[in-house]
Amino acid sequence: MYVSCACRSQHLTGIQLICDICGGKLTGGKVGSTEIVFQPSKVRAGNYLADTHTAG
């Protein structure tokens, strides 16, 4: 999957959560990135927590 955006903290947190859930590989995942590559794998059962560190 190819995504083009200027990643902010909350975007990156969501992408990292998805990566954790499916054991995927994330390249270029940092705040301010304009390009990332996400390669998903198999979904893994478990309890996951993500804090976006934003108001709301």
As a three-state string, the secondary structure of the chain is: CEECCCCCHHHHHHHHHHHHHHCCEEECCCCCCCCEEEECCCCCCCCCCCCCCCCC
pLDDT along the chain (56 residues), means of 10: 70 87 89 87 88 68
Q: Give the CA distances from residue 8 to residues 12, 24, 39, 48, in Å, rounded to whole numbers and listed in that order.
A: 6, 20, 20, 20
- Give the pLDDT of residue 55: 55
Q: Which residue has the tokens 């976006």?
A: 52
- Give the pLDDT of residue 35: 84
- Give the pLDDT of residue 22: 92
- Give the pLDDT of residue 53: 72
- Give the pLDDT of residue 2: 60
- Give the pLDDT of residue 56: 55
pTM: 0.70
